[in-house]
A and B are shown apart, each in its own frame.
Chain A
């Protein structure tokens, strides 16, 4: 593998150097290529992410974690699960260029974000609630990972990048490359990355067993121009991880494979009121297999195989229409079908194997329509109003699946749900320096297929086996947010408060008398609705630039949630503050950031099974330099993470598995 990559580098580097000289505008393009995070709300957080997210070698997980309000649920050193303001799993939508895709693992080991790499991406758009950017009904918003497209008619016929990275902790290695061909009618971009890491060391140099991983990811995107305004796009991503350890869980992963494909047509007439019409068809499939064969015998009472698959196919068609320069109407029709299958076979010693379906062949078909209008009421007032409605039909597609649940639920298990999301967001520009904004939304989601049909799915957080409930009602919420933005001279400041007021909050209720299936599990819970719950919080960012080369920034987030029974909601990050001092000087950049998270004591051990978490404080250093040589730039980024080698974990790290100790990270990337 390494040898091949070396050869590849040898082949592409001289080619890059021999390319005809261009003006530095192309370098700006390269920077845009590297720009990975963009937030839709267009507030201050935005600029921060843009700057921080410029290194394509950073993993998707670490990229997401830097976004204000986003926290990651960690089960190891791989495939972290994103949450937005504490909302997670079915409460947020994760799409790849608008494509619905769902992880295959019943233990949430493979969030969708684990199947894409920054190298595939142009931007990540983050939504904190319902707005016109989401591709489905949602409560807490979500992520849309927009794939990098090749450019037609680019200044350079060939462009690309190649890089290697190394981390002293976990002996992590990675190598990546991308190559783009740009013609007048046809353009194609290929990209690939390989990552491998051994067990990492927590603070204090203690090794975390079963935290290794290996993966590769490759992407291919092509554009063909049919005529002036019509283009055809094809995208394909394949991502394969293997030998992935999950120190916080009872099992590891033998392999996690995703194949993601789409074809789309775009009609983009400039200077017409209907200026964008995109239609996409897509298909993706995920194969996932857990593995306990490397664990010591005393940890494994029974060897088991737990494979799972997820298949989704769908389409969307999106229209953007501008009327009299004031109304920007977006209409989107989308539909998809997702099928989940997961099974478990246990092999007890001296007894017959035991087989069961843990996701008993569940499927969901969704059709939805979203219409929104962005209106410039005046030069000062902008309103975005929209309505989304979804029809979701959920069922079991095999006799074996129906038979499996016959002992758990009676009657017809098909469920049809009608959902609607409505939102109104406004911005008022008070003066040149200040802006106020506010939003209100009615949001709704149907229970996930796991929440409806799951069969003894083990949750490591509270130690219960979970059973789905086809009768669980839609979860709904009223979302409110309001904020101010101020920017004058050397100071930029932003503050925002938000609240999510839930009805029919979905949570697991203990089922006395049910015996757990998983060894060591405390019991069985079934998903059900709690009449209400509330989640509220605030985010504040302050940036000061006292002198041109110095930037001081402080980002602070806080959220708190309780349900109707006054139990603290789970997986809510405590107060967190990231403070950074950055210096940019003669092409060098240096930064140091101090990250502090408070204790989290607002937890419900009895109901949600969470334990309080300690606070932590870590300091990171980073330095970098871009060296340009004609057409080629070499980006060198060096980071020293957790310089004091603190032993720490965040509240959402499952089983309080500690995070990495001191780590020297070196990333070298050549762009051409």
Chain B
């Protein structure tokens, strides 16, 4: 009996010790994805969790000088790369900016397809002149959180849901990101379009009242409100208008909570 207790106590000590080692950003609920050193810096890549999915994924970077001390004014860039063997392409990104609250460079990558036999993803992180490539595995999101479509204006767009911390019954903030594909590797944000959002529960066939269509707020962001009258599977139908004419009216993203 005593042995079991001392064993358990020992384990507890070890775990407690492990926790402490990781302390800093892990305290803020972040998971360390990878770490590298170069140019006298230690660069650590963090995320909210290590299960990346097709859709909107936040990434965080901490940069520390090897002689000690945090570097707050570095220029950090993300470049996702999908390597399909014969060809490579990128995907939309929100480039990181330093967040003084959690002392991390905070950005996001919108993965448009999952890792598969067809190809694999890498995330290139550049800190000033230093570059490091981290392989990342992207799973297929259970619910469709990102959609790529060609509008009537012959432009290829990427529309992505920025999920809140938690969806809940009632009125939720709805945030969308819209980018266009200028080339295989360039995805500039698109502002100033009109997006109409209509929620629906596909299994029930009903919608919800009092939704507020997302409006463009800059950098490709569109914010509005969506009313979920119950938990379950919701589908957000979008109609997108540019200069008064509909460029896409039958695309959707899904929410499950």
Binding site for B on A (CB under 8 A): 302, 344, 346, 348, 351-357, 400, 402-408, 455-456, 511, 513-517, 519, 524
On whether the beta carbons of A346 and B232 are closer than 8 Å, the reply is yes
On whether the beta carbons of A354 and B230 are closer than 8 Å, the reply is yes
**Most chain-B Cβ atoms within 10 A of its Cβ — which of A344, A402, A403?**
A403
Chain B residues near A517: list those with CB within 8 A: 204, 206, 229-230
Q: How far is the CB of A464 from chain B (nearest CB, A)?
A: 13
Query: In the complex the two chains form, what is the Cα distance from A80 to B145 in whole Å?
Result: 49
A-B contact pairs, 26 of them (CB 8 A): A302-B204, A346-B204, A346-B232, A348-B232, A351-B232, A352-B232, A352-B256, A354-B203, A354-B204, A354-B232, A356-B169, A356-B229, A357-B169, A403-B169, A404-B170, A404-B229, A405-B170, A406-B170, A407-B170, A407-B171, A407-B229, A408-B170, A408-B209, A456-B229, A514-B209, A517-B230
On whether the beta carbons of B204 and A348 are closer than 8 Å, the reply is yes
Chain B residues near A352: list those with CB within 8 A: 231-233, 256
Q: Which of B170, B171, B207, B233 contacts A515 (CB 8 A)?
A: B207
Chain B residues near A524: list those with CB within 8 A: 209
Q: How far is the CB of B171 from chain A (nearest CB, A)?
A: 4
On whether the beta carbons of A407 and B233 are closer than 8 Å, the reply is no
On whether the beta carbons of A348 and B209 are closer than 8 Å, the reply is no
On whether the beta carbons of B227 and A407 are closer than 8 Å, the reply is yes
Q: How far is the CB of B30 from chain A (nearest CB, A)?
A: 27
- Determine if B102 is an interface residue (Cβ-Cβ < 8 Å): no
On whether the beta carbons of B230 and A355 are closer than 8 Å, the reply is yes
Which single residue of chain B is at the shortest CB-CB distance from A526? B209
- Determine if B208 is an interface residue (Cβ-Cβ < 8 Å): yes
On whether the beta carbons of B209 and A511 are closer than 8 Å, the reply is yes
Chain B residues near A406: list those with CB within 8 A: 170-171
Chain B residues near A354: list those with CB within 8 A: 201, 203-204, 230-233
Q: How far is the CB of A342 from chain B (nearest CB, A)?
A: 13
Given contacts A352-B256, A356-B231, A400-B169, contact A407 B204 (CB under 8 A): no
Query: In the complex the two chains form, what is the Cα distance from A86 to B135 in whole Å?
Result: 73
Chain B residues near A456: list those with CB within 8 A: 229
Chain A residues near B202: list those with CB within 8 A: 351
- Determine if B168 is an interface residue (Cβ-Cβ < 8 Å): yes
Query: In the complex the two chains form, what is the Cα distance from A456 to B203 in whole Å?
Result: 17
Chain A residues near B228: list those with CB within 8 A: 407
Which single residue of chain A is at the shortest CB-CB distance from B207? A515
Chain A residues near B209: list those with CB within 8 A: 407-408, 511, 513-515, 524
Query: In the complex the two chains form, what is the Cα distance from A353 to B257 in whole Å?
Result: 9
Query: In the complex the two chains form, what is the Cα distance from A355 to B228 in whole Å?
Result: 11
Interface size, chain B (Cβ < 8 Å):
22
Query: In the complex the two chains form, what is the Cα distance from A505 to B232 in whole Å?
Result: 37
Query: In the complex the two chains form, what is the Cα distance from A524 to B207 in whole Å?
Result: 12
Chain A residues near B168: list those with CB within 8 A: 403
Chain A residues near B205: list those with CB within 8 A: 515
Q: How far is the CB of A626 from chain B (nearest CB, A)?
A: 58
Chain B residues near A514: list those with CB within 8 A: 209
- Determine if B210 is an interface residue (Cβ-Cβ < 8 Å): yes
Which single residue of chain A is at the shortest CB-CB distance from B210? A407
**Most chain-A Cβ atoms within 10 A of its Cβ — which of B203, B208, B228?**
B203
On whether the beta carbons of B206 and A515 are closer than 8 Å, the reply is yes
**Most chain-A Cβ atoms within 10 A of its Cβ — which of B209, B228, B256?**
B209
Which single residue of chain B is at the shortest CB-CB distance from A348? B203
On whether the beta carbons of A351 and B233 are closer than 8 Å, the reply is yes
Q: How far is the CB of B173 from chain A (nearest CB, A)?
A: 11
Closest 6 CB pairs of A and B: A407-B227, A354-B232, A356-B230, A406-B170, A348-B203, A515-B206
Known A-B contacts: A407-B171, A407-B209. Give 15 more (CB < 8 A).
Answer: A346-B204, A346-B230, A348-B204, A351-B233, A352-B231, A354-B230, A355-B230, A403-B170, A404-B170, A405-B170, A407-B169, A407-B210, A408-B227, A515-B207, A517-B204
Query: In the complex the two chains form, what is the Cα distance from A225 to B28 in whole Å?
Result: 66
Query: In the complex the two chains form, what is the Cα distance from A474 to B76 in whole Å?
Result: 62
Query: In the complex the two chains form, what is the Cα distance from A344 to B230 in whole Å?
Result: 9
Chain B residues near A356: list those with CB within 8 A: 169, 229-231
Query: In the complex the two chains form, what is the Cα distance from A290 to B213 in whole Å?
Result: 37
Given contacts A403-B170, A404-B169, contact A355 B232 (CB under 8 A): yes
Q: Which of B204, B207, B232 contacts A353 (CB 8 A)?
A: B232
Q: How far is the CB of B165 from chain A (nearest CB, A)?
A: 14
Name the interface residues of B185-206: CB closer than 8 Å to any CB of A. Answer: 201-206
Which single residue of chain A is at the shortest CB-CB distance from B169? A404
Which single residue of chain A is at the shortest CB-CB distance from B226? A407
Which single residue of chain A is at the shortest CB-CB distance from B200? A515
Chain A residues near B232: list those with CB within 8 A: 346, 348, 351-355
Which single residue of chain B is at the shortest CB-CB distance from A357? B169
Query: In the complex the two chains form, what is the Cα distance from A346 to B169 in whole Å?
Result: 14
**Most chain-A Cβ atoms within 10 A of its Cβ — which of B202, B210, B230?**
B230
Which single residue of chain B is at the shortest CB-CB distance from A358? B230
On whether the beta carbons of A408 and B210 are closer than 8 Å, the reply is yes
Query: In the complex the two chains form, what is the Cα distance from A514 to B211 in whole Å?
Result: 11
Q: Which of B171, B201, B229 contacts A455 (CB 8 A)?
A: B229
Query: In the complex the two chains form, what is the Cα distance from A406 to B226 in whole Å?
Result: 11
Q: How far is the CB of B187 from chain A (nearest CB, A)?
A: 32
Q: How far is the CB of A276 from chain B (nearest CB, A)?
A: 50
On whether the beta carbons of B203 and A353 are closer than 8 Å, the reply is no
Query: In the complex the two chains form, what is the Cα distance from A405 to B171 in whole Å?
Result: 8
**Most chain-B Cβ atoms within 10 A of its Cβ — which of A407, A519, A524?**
A407
Chain B residues near A407: list those with CB within 8 A: 169-171, 208-210, 227-229
Given contacts A404-B169, A511-B209, A514-B209, contact A302 B203 (CB under 8 A): yes
Query: In the complex the two chains form, what is the Cα distance from A408 to B233 in whole Å?
Result: 19
Chain B residues near A403: list those with CB within 8 A: 168-170
Query: In the complex the two chains form, what is the Cα distance from A400 to B228 in whole Å?
Result: 13
Query: In the complex the two chains form, what is the Cα distance from A302 to B205 in whole Å?
Result: 12
Q: How far is the CB of A350 from chain B (nearest CB, A)?
A: 8
> What 1/0 mask marks residues of chain B from 159 to 172 whose CB sits below 8 Å from any chain A CB?
00000000011110
Chain B residues near A353: list those with CB within 8 A: 231-232
Query: In the complex the two chains form, what is the Cα distance from A201 to B192 in whole Å?
Result: 67
Query: In the complex the two chains form, what is the Cα distance from A136 to B89 in whole Å?
Result: 73
Chain A residues near B207: list those with CB within 8 A: 515
Q: Which of A357, A400, A408, A516 contacts B206 (CB 8 A)?
A: A516
Which single residue of chain B is at the shortest CB-CB distance from A354? B232
Query: In the complex the two chains form, what is the Cα distance from A403 to B230 in whole Å?
Result: 11
Query: In the complex the two chains form, what is the Cα distance from A545 to B23 in whole Å?
Result: 96
Q: How far is the CB of A404 from chain B (nearest CB, A)?
A: 5
On whether the beta carbons of A355 and B227 are closer than 8 Å, the reply is no
Chain A residues near B231: list those with CB within 8 A: 352-356
Query: In the complex the two chains form, what is the Cα distance from A374 to B55 in whole Å?
Result: 76
Q: How far is the CB of B21 from chain A (nearest CB, A)?
A: 37
Chain B residues near A346: list those with CB within 8 A: 204, 230, 232
Query: In the complex the two chains form, what is the Cα distance from A352 to B235 in whole Å?
Result: 13
Chain B residues near A302: list those with CB within 8 A: 203-204
Query: In the complex the two chains form, what is the Cα distance from A400 to B208 in whole Å?
Result: 18
Query: In the complex the two chains form, what is the Cα distance from A348 to B202 in whole Å?
Result: 10
